[in-house]
Amino acid sequence: MNSNEIDIHKELKKYFGFSQFKGLQEKVITSLLNKQNTFVIMPTGGGKSLCYQLPALVQEGTAIVVSPLIALMKNQVDAIRSLSSENGIAHVLNSSLTKTEIAQVKSDISAGITKLLYVAPESLTKEEYVAFLQTVPLSFVAIDEAHCISEWGHDFRPEYRNLKNIIKQLGEVPIIGLTATATPKVQEDILKNLEMANATTFKASFNRANLFYEVRTKTKNIESDIIRFIKQHKGKSGIIYCLSRKKVEAIAEVLQVNGISAVPYHAGLDAKTRAKHQDMFLMEDVEVVVATIAFGMGIDKPDVRFVIHHDIPKSLESYYQETGRAGRDGGEGHCLAYYSYKDVEKLEKFLSGKPVAEQEIGFALLHEVVAYAETSMSRRKFLLHYFGEEFDSETGEGADMDDNVRNPKTKVEAKDEVLKLLEVVKKTKH
Ligand code: ADP
Ligand code: MG
């Protein structure tokens, strides 16, 4: 089937009930239907799934979707099944299936019923599955969360490195890689590892114009500063990120004592408590969640009004993802980070216990955060530049939404800062 013969607008309405494509979706889908290798970089919530779901549904054969998390795969399979009367239209293939279930999956694929087959990368390496997949028609292979292939990404999975080898054994199929990680290094890694230098790349803007970026120097008064900030945002939902579980507990308690409804969230709490605290936040029984970075994956609360970083994040990439949980509905989102050089040293010390390669990457990422914290230029411009995006700090959307632009530093202050930064860079060079 040729892409020209498919009315993708009609299919969009039929399967998903939407009357318009979002952002670059239409272009991406057309590229994939034309059998091009395709690379998609869109922020979280941009609508990446539909970029492979729709082409899979309207073509002959089965599309293989590689995804790192079983929970994510299950969600997507349930969602796809709800679009069709045919249960077998989407399947998951993983280690949790029984023999009977596997037989059912295989028979649905062979019968041409299954349009989407979700697999974890480690399942795809199984010889038995590879041998089977070689015998059935495939439409394409989608690699979701493709940044997992890169050590420079925030979620490196070694098994992703093997994907290209396996895909090669499946014959000539187009590949679509998708990620919300926008750093040029990660992108390069993805294209290289998937041997997709020829891919057509679609990159959406990462500018979040409704977010206000601010950095404050961390002093011993940080707790009262945070309390004041929250009281100024009374009745609004917010997240406070801390580096350690201990700090999470301590800050949550300080807030409670000061009459702010807050709950802690970290991987040291049992699953039941975590789920309860997450629900309380989603249902607005509490205003604030104090959390480690364990909190946030898959959290889709549209009206988070502030994200505070009590400690500096490990990388600007993580900072972008974590602050990105604010203002999903397009309304106000205040992103406040506290910065002290002591925190940098703490993180460095932590990194120095790691294998050398990991250390080097860790230091490099950390120094970018330091530069962001210390800069006197437009923070939005700085962040977007980090993602390889040009931003005009005078006319760009959201240009005045940061502390540096609102209150520009005098030349003398700015020069002091540069000197300080040089000092930092010198000190952190190991
Ligand atoms: P991503 O994977 O890029 O983070 P998702 O694929 O999870 O994003 O999509 C985010 C949301 O956008 C979902 O709720 C999805 O239903 C919605 N969405 C996707 N495409 C469209 C569209 N064309 N019109 C309206 N909503 C859409
Ligand atoms: Mg996604």
Quote the pLDDT of residue 429.
47
Give the tens place of pLDDT for each residue, 127-176.
999 999 999 999 999 999 999 999 988 888 999 999 999 999 999 999 99
What separation in Å is there between the alpha carbon of 174 and the centre of ligand 2?
19
Q: Helices 411-428 and 341-351: crossing angle, nearest 10°?
A: 20
d(CA 249, CA 242): 10
Quote the pLDDT of residue 415.
61
**Ion ligand 2 nearby residues (CB, 5 A):** 48
Nearest C-alpha neighbor of 345 from the set 185, 228, 218: 218
What separation in Å is there between the alpha carbon of 200 and the centre of ligand 1?
21
DSSP 238-267: EEEE-SSHHHHHHHHHHHHHTT--EEEE-T
d(CA 358, CA 31): 36
Q: Which ligand is nearest to the CA of 300?
A: 1
Quote the pLDDT of residue 85.
87
Mapped onto helix, strand or coil, the DSSP state of residue 409 is: coil
Quote the pLDDT of residue 422.
63
CB 207 within 8 A of CB 396: yes
CB 114 within 8 A of CB 90: yes
What separation in Å is there between the alpha carbon of 353 and the centre of ligand 1?
40
Substitution candidate for ligand 1 out of 12, 20, 22 with most atoms within 8 A of CB: 22
Q: Which two tokens stand for residue 324?
A: 């990105």
What separation in Å is there between the alpha carbon of 338 and the centre of ligand 2?
30
Q: What is the pTM of this model?
A: 0.83
Question: Which residues lie across from 62 on neighbouring strands?
Answer: 138
Residue nearest to atom 25 of ligand 1 (CA): 18
For 276, list phi and psi in degrees, rounded to 5.
Answer: -65, -45
Give the tens place of pLDDT for each residue, 234-282.
999 999 999 999 999 999 999 999 999 999 999 999 999 999 999 999 9
User: Pocket residues for ligand 1 (CB within 6 Å)?
Assistant: 18, 20-22, 25, 42, 44-50
d(CA 213, CA 236): 18
Q: Which two tokens stand for residue 286?
A: 């509490």
What separation in Å is there between the alpha carbon of 322 and the centre of ligand 1?
19
Quote the pLDDT of residue 421.
62
Quote the pLDDT of residue 430.
44
CB 248 within 8 A of CB 311: no
d(CA 286, CA 84): 38
% of the chain surpassing 70 pLDDT: 94
Q: Cβ–Cβ contacts within 10 Å for residue 70, how many?
A: 15
Residue nearest to atom 27 of ligand 1 (CA): 47
For 355, list phi and psi in degrees, rounded to 5.
Answer: -60, 150
Residue nearest to atom 18 of ligand 1 (CA): 47
Amino acid at 136: V
Quote the pLDDT of residue 94.
84
The residues of the chain scoring below 70 in pLDDT are: 1-4, 297-298, 410-430
CB 163 within 8 A of CB 194: yes
Which residue intervals of 2-47 are DSSP H helices? 8-11, 25-33
Secondary element (H or E) of residue 93: strand 90-93
CB 199 within 8 A of CB 191: yes
